Structure 1
Amino acid sequence: MLTFRHTIASESVTVNVPEDAADLKLFWEWLYRARERGPIALDTETTGLNIYSAGYRLRTVQFGDAHEAWVLLYERGGWHAQYAREAIQRCREVLIHNAAFDWLVLDEHAGIRLEDLAPWTTDTRILAALIDPRQPSEGGVGTALKPLSAKWIDPAAPDTQGGLTKVFNSLGFTKETGWAGIPLTHPTFLLYAGLDVILTARLAPMLRRELERLGVRDQLVTYEHEIARMCAVMQRAGLLVDQEYAAALAGRLAEEAERHGAVAARYGVASVGSPGQVAEALLGMGERLTERTKGGALATDKAVLLPLADLDRDWQRIGARTANPLADAVLRGKRASKWGVTYAERFMTKLSTAGRLHAAISPLAARTGRMSVTDGLHQLPSSDHVIRRAILAEPGHVMVSTDFQAVEMRVLAALANVRRMKDGFVNGGSDFDIHMFTAKLIKGRNATPRHRKIFKGAGFGKVYGGGITTIARQTGAEESEIAQAVAAYDRAFPEIKRASSRWQRQAFQNRMVFISATGRRLPLDRDRSYSVVNYACQSAARDLLGQAMLNVESAGLLEFCRLPIHDELLASVPQRDADEIAREFQRCMSMDLYGVPITADAEIGGRSWGSLYGADY
């Protein structure tokens, strides 16, 4: 038996590493005693993060309580692996920090189905996010184990990730290669593996007590664990990639980036990725640049360049000015380069042996609870079909996308009890257009599509917290016109400003924390308390999607789901049953929120995700 000792919160803790059958028998005796006392913390060490890559290995499985940990050398196989598998199955309750990762590791590499383990799991990362969802950059503690342990357990709690990185470097490995290369019985590797479960075991009851003190409902905790489980099921299924198309796309995008780079070079910009060169050239062409970065340099990001190229957020012509050819070339060159690396090349390099991309879905990525998806899939332009064309439905299947309709505005109408909006959504029929409704309400029956665009910008400014300058940039209108439109919007829907003031007062009275419609704690920045409207609406919209996912599972459709993207569920369904399944998805995503109908449309595409956006396959 290898034994290591460490001090946590002035108490000595022990990490045991069984080496033979006699040692494993002692582990078994500990396990039976420990599970009678309460939940057992569980963790894994692996060769990296890409669970489905070729050659991936599960190295250790560790169990622990507040005082003792046992690290089983799973990589040795035999009795070590067998005891680990059986021990997991005999645990009545387990504590895991960032459970989805370990669920999927154990599902893929130990034969422990996540459906069997998830119901008995408490994820301390979820508990922490429900207490304070902010990351360190936003003024919070974050949800990583080290800072949480330092806050709740011991300020001197070891940074196991940082400490191991130093060991990796001393052995000639990088942070990425060290997990696979470090010797299995390296003392620091084993000690830190054991300490993680001890810290998790200590963290859980503290977080539970804090949730109770704050009045966070148990139902919300249960709900978030269910959402995490469903997202893990989708990640396990993965996305089938058209490898031939992706390889050709990477080549085309490289050529496109080079072509637009050549255009930029004619204006003196040797690199489209150089903000200084771009700013200097644009000023030389007579453009006026006013926005600056945090470092004080002139800003030339997408938000600045799109209006100069006469493009809106969807890369459609605004018609407000003559497009600046340099701004256009820089935007398109950078996009082609990014798409080539972020998407086309990554689709090829991150594939599993089955040709699938298993993008990680983070159910609690944003402060508001909004989800995100790795590998850039959450940042795809809303109208793009080029990248999406690389993602395929299963053989014999077609893609179905079910999307909430105008959910942001419906949520705003419901939460702020906006009388005219609610009346429009209730009585406007299936073709009701809230933005044209608003334009006609303010401008009369002769309202034009341009009026619609301006008032759409004003409405989204309310939901997302955009100011006059931002809305003007996005719509191509003058700031004075936008200011008048926003004032008219407030007169038409006075309930929104009243709700914002009321919600800000409630937050001030609650130490700058707003409580969402579902009981979620949403901390506000004191100098940006007006963001409460954005947070309230975004959080409620996310929980509508979460409820829709629960409805989808209850209807037996989870096996078809592939991704939650913003306000959309993407599914691969058998072609012969597509009409029936699409109707069921639509039913599952239709509900009522405080008297406002939340509606959804299900669209049936072809074999590729891109077919839903104009691709021909």
Structure 2
Amino acid sequence: MTRVPETAADLVEFRRWVVRQAASGAMTGADTETTGLDTFARHYRLRTVQIGDARDAWVLQVEGRPEMQEAARWALLTLPRLVFHNATFDLLVLDRHLRAPLEELGPKSTDSKIIAHLFDPRPRHEGGYGLKLKDLCARDVDPSAPDTQEDLTAVFHSIGETKDTGWAKIDINHPTYLQYAGLDAILVSRLLPVLEARLRKAGVRESLVSFEHAVMLVCAKMERRGMLVDQDYVRPLVGRLEEEAALHAGRASKYGVTSVNAPKQVSTALLAMGETLILPGNSKPERTDSGALKVDKEVLQYLADVDREWKRIGARTPNPLADAVLRSKRAGKWAKSYGVAMRDGIDDAGRIHPKINSLQARTARMSISSPPLQQLPSGDWTIRRALLPEPGHRIFSVDYSAVEMRVLAALADEGVMKRAISEGRDLHGFTAELIYGPDYTSFHRKLCKGVGFGKVYGGGSVTLSRQTGAPLPDVKKAVAAYDRTYRGIKRYSSRLQREARADGYIVWTPVGRRLPLDRDRVYAATNYAVQSTARDVLCQALLDMEDRGLTEHLYLPIHDECLGSAPEEIAEDVAREVGAAMSMDFFGVPLDTDPEVGGSSWGSLYMKKAGTMIANDSWYAAHPQAAHAAELARA
């Protein structure tokens, strides 16, 4: 039953229910309804707070009603145990818009999405249980439960709104809206015991559940803090990126492509230029599920002869149309996903709050969204230049040195690789020397680096051939030589695959994480184990930094990097402390860090890496057009 308090007498009954629920010590479902997903946007509103158990839910209409806000805040702070689905979102909403502190609600909250992910991180379309509340409940709670989401979407359409915009415009008293709100609190209360029982039966450790919730809270604090945006840089940047997108679209139009986002036009034009669209290692072009020729990023990068970091490969003559399409699409994406997001998505204090998904992907690796900062090329400063430290602070970055390769060496107990690491050798050069002798070339080193990362990321010989431009036979010889050199890795990979097959296609990591494999991709076992473990190393470092009081300096965890800022006079010291907290001995392999302190923007760190002699990036702020021209020239 869904109950909606309207009068003072209704609130008295609600408070009595809360007191009884608190006295029982039972887990209580909680949820919020808001105007959208941009929790920190200027005009964002919290509309309802719903609290319930497996039978009943109370929907408190807190928007514009102080008495309801106070009742909801009191209830959340009084109840001893709460369960949310995707808790980070609701906890930050309640912290910001209901003044229910994250520090008080977080430690007593369970996230049913975390529990679901720890059993099976795969979405339903990949064969998993799914991670959405409705999907999980339809499977495990009540398959006949009403699908109020579809009903609510129909209401949105009836008032002229979309699935995204309807949340802010629907009448707060609409019965479908109130039923939808209340049902989530009931469903999550019913779902959690099912998920917890499944997790126990699978043998997933309780300590891992606690670990993930602790990581979630640290990441929520970073998300709440956000980063300052240089609006004077961002506003013209959007225009310049849009101009760049139009410029390259104009280049594409010379080949008959009127829209770079029309795959059929692009494929037709490329075929007319004599391209076969056949990637190295394939016998025919790849096609989409609908049968159309694929001209995705991988195909275009091969034709344009560039790698994922936009560097020339040297394997073929670049196709000018593929190059134009790639560059137009990149500039357009950057303008919208980064420029507009940072221009229009700031809060009242001029900050953006990228969403940190602490438990994401099939390997549990984190992701950043709104904007997706982890997708930026590793060597590019253009977007990073827009994000600033606190006034009087300097930005710093601390990342691990080849963490995936070191984790792989430790997990496989690969003696030759461990010795090279302990001696401080350049691992890829060391490998090239072992395989090709002391006169190895830079190409040999690049090839050995690719093979090594192929072991980590699951790329095969064909993929490596495409990425490096090396002939497939040469790549296969390098892979075979790599396996002979590092026999421990080959044995480890074989053992993981054997154990996974014996255990129902499941890989177990050192922390007890359960990672389901696809039956036709058992070879990915090593990739899953290494990526997941490297992620857990970073997460443990985040918890260690929280214990040391360093979290207040942090902005974001990105891949194997922690970004933060500190007052100018102590920035070097803080960066070293963060580096010390991140460093550790992992099964006999040192995981070293590389602290670096920059200037007055995140981009300053990358300007130095790009070879500029400017340690402080104030010149770039004063000359944005010249800075952008320099970046285009470098690209």
TM-score (norm 1): 0.95
Secondary structure of 2:58's aligned partner: strand
1:147 aligns with 2:128: no
Aligned counterpart, 1:600: 593
CA distance in 1, matches of 2:301, 2:351: 34
The amino acid that maps onto 1:341 is K
On the 8 A contact 2:565/2:571 being kept in 1, the answer is: no
CA distance in 2, matches of 1:316, 1:415: 32
Q: Post-superposition shift, 1:465?
A: 1.2
- For these two proteins, the number of residue pairs brought into alignment is 601
Q: Matched residues, percent identical?
A: 53
Deviation readout 1:442-475 (Å, 9 max, x if unpaired): 1111111110000111111111111212101111
Q: Post-superposition shift, 1:534?
A: 0.7
CA distance in 2, matches of 1:387, 1:608: 10
1:465 aligns with 2:452: no
CA distance in 1, matches of 2:321, 2:21: 67
Cα 1:573–1:161 shift into 2, 3 Å: farther
Q: Which runs of 5+ in 2 are unaligned?
A: 279-284, 609-613, 618-635
On the 8 A contact 1:146/1:157 being kept in 2, the answer is: no
Q: Post-superposition shift, 1:613?
A: 0.7
CA distance in 1, matches of 2:258, 2:54: 59
Secondary structure of 2:374's aligned partner: coil
Aligned counterpart, 1:571: 564
Deviation readout 1:234-254 (Å, 9 max, x if unpaired): 111112111111111111111
Deviation readout 1:364-386 (Å, 9 max, x if unpaired): 11011000011221211111111
CA distance in 1, matches of 2:314, 2:360: 36
Aligned counterpart, 2:286: 292
Deviation readout 1:420-455 (Å, 9 max, x if unpaired): 1111112x22xx211111000111111111100001
Among candidates 13, 21, 24, match of residue 8 of structure 2: 21
Moved more, 518-527 or 571-580: 571-580
CA distance in 2, matches of 1:279, 1:267: 11
Moved more, 582-591 or 250-259: 250-259
1:505 aligns with 2:498: yes
Among candidates 92, 107, 119, match of residue 119 of structure 1: 107
CA distance in 1, matches of 2:175, 2:300: 53
Moved more, 187-196 or 219-228: 187-196
Q: Post-superposition shift, 1:324?
A: 2.5
The amino acid that maps onto 2:19 is Y
Secondary structure of 1:518's aligned partner: coil
The amino acid that maps onto 1:108 is R
CA distance in 1, matches of 2:111, 2:360: 15
CA distance in 2, matches of 1:280, 1:183: 49
Q: Which runs of 5+ in 1 are unaligned?
A: 1-13
CA distance in 1, matches of 2:272, 2:181: 58
Moved more, 501-510 or 291-300: 291-300
Aligned counterpart, 2:378: 382
Q: Post-superposition shift, 1:137?
A: 2.2
The amino acid that maps onto 2:601 is S
Q: Post-superposition shift, 1:183?
A: 1.7
CA distance in 1, matches of 2:75, 2:277: 63
CA distance in 1, matches of 2:379, 2:287: 28
Cα 1:462–1:576 shift into 2, 3 Å: same
On the 8 A contact 1:403/1:567 being kept in 2, the answer is: yes
The amino acid that maps onto 1:56 is Y
Matches within 5 A, 1:182-581: 182-290=170-278, 291-294=285-288, 295-374=290-369, 375-426=371-422, 428-429=423-424, 432-581=425-574
The amino acid that maps onto 2:402 is A
Q: Post-superposition shift, 1:309?
A: 2.3
CA distance in 1, matches of 2:338, 2:50: 35
1:35 aligns with 2:22: yes
Moved more, 570-579 or 174-183: 174-183
CA distance in 2, matches of 1:44, 1:557: 31
CA distance in 1, matches of 2:61, 2:396: 44
Q: Post-superposition shift, 1:300?
A: 2.1
Cα 1:341–1:76 shift into 2, 3 Å: closer
On the 8 A contact 2:42/2:346 being kept in 1, the answer is: no
Q: Post-superposition shift, 1:160?
A: 3.3
CA distance in 2, matches of 1:536, 1:486: 20
Q: Post-superposition shift, 1:543?
A: 0.1
1:590 aligns with 2:583: yes
CA distance in 2, matches of 1:264, 1:185: 52
Moved more, 405-414 or 321-330: 321-330
Moved more, 94-103 or 324-333: 324-333
Secondary structure of 2:562's aligned partner: strand
The amino acid that maps onto 1:532 is A
Aligned counterpart, 1:110: 98
On the 8 A contact 1:146/1:160 being kept in 2, the answer is: no
Cα 1:293–1:243 shift into 2, 3 Å: farther
Q: Post-superposition shift, 1:125?
A: 0.9
On the 8 A contact 1:261/1:272 being kept in 2, the answer is: yes
Q: Post-superposition shift, 1:319?
A: 2.9
Aligned counterpart, 1:167: 155
CA distance in 2, matches of 1:169, 1:272: 31
On the 8 A contact 1:516/1:540 being kept in 2, the answer is: yes
The amino acid that maps onto 1:122 is T
CA distance in 2, matches of 1:436, 1:407: 16
Aligned counterpart, 2:42: 54
Q: Post-superposition shift, 1:76?
A: 4.2
The amino acid that maps onto 1:29 is R
Secondary structure of 1:614's aligned partner: helix
CA distance in 1, matches of 2:158, 2:254: 48
Cα 1:159–1:564 shift into 2, 3 Å: farther
CA distance in 1, matches of 2:196, 2:264: 50
On the 8 A contact 1:513/1:523 being kept in 2, the answer is: yes
Deviation readout 1:69-107 (Å, 9 max, x if unpaired): 111121242322111111111111111111111111111
Aligned counterpart, 2:88: 100
The amino acid that maps onto 1:27 is F
Aligned counterpart, 1:9: none
CA distance in 1, matches of 2:67, 2:293: 63
Deviation readout 1:509-539 (Å, 9 max, x if unpaired): 2111111111111000000110101100100
CA distance in 2, matches of 1:284, 1:173: 43
CA distance in 2, matches of 1:399, 1:327: 37
Moved more, 391-400 or 283-292: 283-292
The amino acid that maps onto 1:93 is R
Q: Post-superposition shift, 1:279?
A: 2.5
On the 8 A contact 1:399/1:572 being kept in 2, the answer is: yes
CA distance in 2, matches of 1:181, 1:261: 37
The amino acid that maps onto 1:157 is A
Secondary structure of 1:498's aligned partner: helix
Among candidates 164, 182, 190, match of residue 176 of structure 1: 164
Moved more, 372-381 or 304-313: 304-313
The amino acid that maps onto 2:487 is P
On the 8 A contact 1:386/1:610 being kept in 2, the answer is: yes
CA distance in 2, matches of 1:349, 1:376: 15
Q: Post-superposition shift, 1:314?
A: 1.1
On the 8 A contact 1:52/1:352 being kept in 2, the answer is: yes
Secondary structure of 1:228's aligned partner: helix
